[in-house]
Amino acid sequence: MSRWWPALAAVAVVVVTALIGLLGNWWKPPPWVARSPRTHRVVFAAALAVLVGLTLVQVLVLQGPGNANGGNGGNTQSPGTRTAAPSQSGYDVFLGDLPPKLGTSNVTQVLPHGLEGRYSRPLVVACPTDPATDRVRDVTYSLAKRYIGFHATLHGFNPTPDESLVQVTLFLDKQDGRAFRFAIGQPQDVDIDVDVTDVDDLRIEVGCQNPSASAILIDPELHHR
């Protein structure tokens, strides 16, 4: 409704001005009666007071509960702004946004050649180059008991397609590992959904039958408390 106040203010000024003009034409003082400058000043001041009053009313309406910054409709955050560490529950954090605690050199967010642009927010762990002496590659993230769930989609990739296995094992603190396997070339990716309530460290371990393969975690995210 406040959008109508400028129009109402304009109408009020026009009406007041018209009334002043009509009254001025209706009453003509006798020639021997001099016009009082004070009368003109009073009329002008009255019209100005009406305009100022209507402007103040409009300002008060615009600053009402629905439009004030502290009201129910207030929003001090710019559109499109995303806070890094919100306090509300249920917030999802991409695992790639956390700095690795250990094994930084074993993980990357760059997809292998041939998969560019196919997946969003990936974490890629290359397979060990020599399964005889270098059996696994791992990376550890500190969760600090801030999350209740971890979800990702596992995809295995090899530039030369074969049917070799790629295995990702998740270790939650000192617990036994939980393994997820993907056979290169299989049509369906593997869903990973793990409860990480009260977990301090998440270690991701990758082992492969073919050293040229890679394990790709698609959209790995942590569910905030």
Q: Distance between CA 209 and CA 130 in Å, rounded? A: 10
Q: Which CATH number fits domain 92-224: 2.60.120.1060, 3.40.50.80, 3.40.640.10, 3.40.50.2300?
A: 2.60.120.1060
H-helix or E-strand containing 169?
strand 165-172
Strand pairing category for 165-172 and 122-126: unpaired
Q: What is the pLDDT of residue 85?
A: 42
Q: What is the pLDDT of residue 206?
A: 97
Q: What is the pLDDT of residue 83?
A: 37
Q: What is the pLDDT of residue 12?
A: 61
For the chain, domain boundaries: 2-62, 92-224
**Which pTM was predicted?**
0.59
**Residue ranges in the chain modelled with pLDDT below 70:** 1-90, 131
Q: What is the pLDDT of residue 58?
A: 66
Give the tens place of pLDDT for each residue, 52-66: 666 655 655 565 554
